[in-house]
């Protein structure tokens, strides 16, 4: 499989040793499902994938500090894994890369994947690029381009956008005209925006398909979806950009036509009514799961509590109900933090579980 341009850090012996360690772990964690842990980083992003062979891919590391790194480690422990084989940094905003340094101290990381150097003049995490260069010097580093794949067993991981560029030929199952493009309008380009650089992925396991587009902007969504849907239909939509209005156009969401959406929002970030409307008018949609009850969406647009991993205390919710969304903006950090888990089978069936209440629902192909 193609994996892009690779820069090796360390000796051949170290690489061989790494391969042996990975092989040993895979033998210990054999499973039949592709497991996805959508970790609560309070409006940031960290999503852990564990393949049937026990390989691990983590997209992003949440916010600066130790809190989100600890939450990732807890999810990994629940998954029965002790290392991260590949960390994909979608782009260099603080809520996506801030936890890397703390995570690297807690778990071994086998490979780093990103879109290349930052395009923004000011770092959201001061000194991050220098620190990242030191951290990734311990392991192979891959700069990916559209069309590249990650080398995984039984799972196809295809990069569909990176560094402001997208695939131009349809994936298997893609290429049909997208009726949802009728009202799509391109906006102004901003080449200096890290969101535009997001590493975006389509992940396929047997008949199951999901996408993780990070914070990809609408113009790149248009490149992927209009006038033809280059990706094709999917089963699970990992909602872009935390469920904010900055991404997730109808052309994308309705074109992908997922049956289930999982939104990586915070209580006071994302989950906004405009995004909820787009999700809930998707033709095939059955359920929308949320990491948090969204103060912005209030009683009108949030999913039922069974589908929400993290709920604020009753007093905070009461303030929102009686005074409006602004009353919840001072919501404090919370413990414990609950994740949403997806377990997908090669048949295309998948089960979504809320770790807060144990509620789960299985979706049959």
User: In which band, very low, low, confident or very high, does the pLDDT at 303 lie, cut at 50, 70 and 90?
Assistant: very high
Q: Tell whether the model's pLDDT for residue 335 goes beyond 90.
A: no
Distance separating alpha carbons of residues 143 and 20, to the nearest angstrom: 24
Q: Are 102 and 66 in contact (CB under 8 A)?
A: yes
CATH of the domain at 286: 3.60.15.10
Residue span of the structural domain in which 51 resides: 5-359
pLDDT in tens, 180-201: 999 999 999 999 999 999 999 9
Distances (CA, A) of 30 to 75, 94, 151, 184: 17, 34, 17, 44
Give how many domains the chain has, as a whole number. Answer: 1
Least confident of 257-266, 300-309, 329-338: 329-338
Is position 139 within any domain? yes
Are 142 and 111 in contact by the 8 Å Cβ rule? The answer is yes
Do residues 6 and 142 make contact, with C-beta atoms less than 8 angstroms apart?
A: yes
Give the confidence band of 21 by pLDDT, cuts at 50, 70, 90: very low
Q: Could you tell me which residues come within 8 angstroms of residue 305 by beta carbon, excluding any fewer than 6 positions away?
A: 293, 311
pLDDT at residue 8 is higher than 50: no
Please, what is the average pLDDT of the chain? 90
Residue 268 domain flag: yes
Residue 363 sits at φ, ψ, to 5 deg, of: -115, 120
Say if residue 321's pLDDT is above 80: no
In a domain, 364, yes or no: no
Q: Which of 313, 314, 312, 320 is nearest to 40 (CA)?
A: 312
pLDDT at 74: 98
Per-residue pLDDT, 333: 65
- Please tell me whether the overall predicted TM-score, pTM, comes out greater than 0.85 for this model: yes
Cα separation, 149 vs 171, in Å, equals 12
The predicted pLDDT at position 16 comes to 35
Q: What is the percent of the chain where pLDDT is above 90?
A: 83
pLDDT over 70 at 15, yes or no: no
pLDDT (0 to 100) of residue 209 = 98
What tens digit of pLDDT does each residue of 229-245 get? Answer: 999 999 999 999 999 99
- 45 assigned to some structural domain: yes
Sequence-ordered list of residues with C-beta below 8 angstroms from that of 343, at least 6 positions apart, any chain:
33, 34, 35, 36, 350, 351, 353
pLDDT on residue 27? 40
Predicted pLDDT of residue 322: 63
Tell me: pLDDT of 297 over 90: yes
Looking at per-residue pLDDT, the higher value among 61 and 1 belongs to 61
Compare 316 and 2 and report the one with higher pLDDT: 316
Share of the chain above pLDDT 70, in %: 86
Smallest CA-to-CA distance from 269 within 299, 248, 300, 290 is with 290
| DSSP tag of 171 | P
Arithmetic mean of pLDDT, 260-274: 96
pLDDT-derived band at 325, boundaries 50, 70, 90 = low
Which residues are CB-neighbours of 297 under 8 A, at least 6 positions away?
Answer: 271, 272, 273, 276, 325
139 burial class (0-12, 13-18, 19+ CB within 10 angstroms)? buried
Burial of 123 (0-12, 13-18, 19+ CB in 10 A): middle
For the chain, what is the total number of helices (H) and then of strands (E)? 10, 21
pLDDT digits (tens, 9 = 90+) for 76-130: 999 999 999 999 999 999 999 999 999 999 999 999 999 999 999 999 999 999 9
- Scanning the structure block, which residue is given the tokens 């209005």? 245
Residue 149 has pLDDT above 80, yes or no: yes
């Amino acid at each position: 499989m193609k994996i892009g341009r690779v820069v090796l850090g360390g000796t051949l012996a170290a690489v061989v040793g790494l391969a042996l360690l990975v092989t040993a772990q895979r033998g210990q964690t054999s499973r039949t499902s592709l497991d996805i842990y959508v970790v609560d980083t309070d409006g940031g992003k960290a999503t852990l994938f564990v393949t049937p062979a026990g390989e691990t891919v983590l997209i992003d590391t949440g916010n600066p500090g130790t809190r989100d790194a600890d939450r990732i480690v807890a999810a990994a422990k629940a998954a029965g894994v002790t290392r991260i084989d590949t960390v994909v940094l979608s782009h260099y905003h603080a809520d996506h890369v801030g936890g890397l340094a703390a995570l690297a101290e807690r778990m071994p990381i086998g490979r780093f994947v990103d879109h290349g150097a930052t395009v923004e003049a000011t770092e959201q995490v001061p000194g991050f690029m220098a620190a990242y260069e030191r951290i990734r010097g311990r392991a192979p580093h891959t700069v990916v381009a559209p069309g590249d794949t990650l080398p995984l067993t039984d799972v196809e991981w295809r990069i569909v956008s990176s560094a402001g560029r997208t695939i131009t030929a349809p994936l298997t199952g893609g290429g049909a005209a997208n009726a949802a493009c009728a009202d799509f309008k391109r906006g102004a380009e901003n080449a200096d925006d890290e969101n535009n650089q997001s590493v975006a992925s389509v992940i396929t396991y047997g008949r199951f398909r999901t996408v993780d587009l990070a914070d990809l902007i609408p113009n790149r969504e248009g490149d992927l979806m209009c006038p033809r849907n280059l990706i094709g239909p999917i089963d699970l939509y990992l909602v872009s950009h935390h469920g904010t209005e900055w991404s997730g156009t109808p052309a994308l969401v309705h074109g992908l036509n997922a049956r289930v959406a999982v939104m990586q929002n915070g209580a006071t970030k994302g989950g906004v009514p405009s995004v909820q409307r787009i999700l809930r008018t998707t033709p095939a949609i059955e359920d929308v799961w949320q990491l948090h009850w969204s103060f912005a969406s209030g009683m009108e647009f949030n999913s039922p509590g069974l589908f929400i991993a993290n709920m604020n205390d009753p007093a905070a919710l009461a303030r929102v109900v009686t005074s409006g969304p602004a009353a919840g903006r001072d919501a404090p950090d919370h413990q414990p933090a609950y994740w949403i888990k997806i377990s997908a089978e090669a048949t295309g069936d998948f089960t979504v579980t809320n770790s807060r209440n144990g509620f789960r629902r299985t979706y049959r192909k």
